[in-house]
Amino acid sequence: MADSPALSIGFLLFPGVTQLDLTWPYEVFVRAPGAQVHLIWKDLAPVNADRGLAILPTVTLAECPALDVICVPGGPGQIDLMDDDEVLDFLRQKAKEVKLVTSVCTGSLVLGAAGLLQGYKATTHWGSLDQLALLGAQPVEERVVHDGNRISGAGVTSGIDFALTVVAGLYGDAVAQEIQLQLEYDPAPPFNAGSPRSAAPELLQAVRLKQASFVEKRRQATQRAAAKL
C-alpha cells in the first residue's frame, strides 16, 4: 500500500511508561511515508517515563484527531491505567474508528482492561503473559501476535519487530525493509539471555523472584479490571 494516503498513528503516552515501548516503534512509524504520529495524554505537560525521561505529548485525549492506528505501550504506569475510566473509554471509542488496535509489552493488558482483547490472541511481556487470560484474551508466547485487526508485541525490545510488522501490513514489505535498513536493525546481542526460553534457569529464577512483588501488584489490577468486564 505504498500509494495509500498518509496514515494517522497515535500512541497513548502516560506517566510511568517504559520509554522504549513507545520510542522504538515511534522511530519506525515516523519513517513511514506521510505518516502522522501523535503522542496522546490528558494534557500537554511533560510526562515522565518510568526511568525519568520526560516526553512531551502532542495532543490531548479530548482533542485527538481521527486515527488509523492506536498503540498502547507498557510500563509500570500501566497499572493505574487499568482503573482509569477516562483512558479506557477513550480506547474503546478509538477502537471503533481505527484500522488497527495495537500494543507493546504490558500495553496489551490495558487494551484487555478496556474489553478490547476478548476472544483475541495476544502477547505481552513474558512475566505477565498469563494475565491476558484473565481479560478474555488467548495468551501466545510469540514476539509479535496478529489476530484480526489486533497486533501486539511482547516485551520491550519487540517494539521494533512489532512496528515493522505493522508498516509491512500497511505499506508493503519493501517500505518496511527500507526502514529496517535505515535503522540498521540487525540485532546480534552479546548474550543469549533475552528470553525465558534461552536464559539460564538460575538467571530466570532470580529475575522472577526480583519481579514477583510487582507482578503480583499488576495481577491484582488485572483481576480488578477483569471483574468489570
**Annotated active-site positions, please?**
105
Largest CA distance in the chain: 51
DSSP states of 34-73 as a string? T-EEEEEESSSS-EE-TTS-EE--SEETTT----SEEEE-
Residue pair 77/50 in contact by the 8 Å Cβ criterion: yes
Residue pair 102/7 in contact by the 8 Å Cβ criterion: no
Residue pair 129/139 in contact by the 8 Å Cβ criterion: yes
Give the residue from 94, 86, 91, 92 showing the smallest Cα distance to 68. 94
Q: How far apart are CA 69 and CA 85, in angstroms?
A: 21
Cell of 126: 513474558
Helix (H) or strand (E) holding 29: helix 19-29
9 three-class SS: strand
Q: How far apart are CA 212 and CA 191, in angstroms?
A: 24
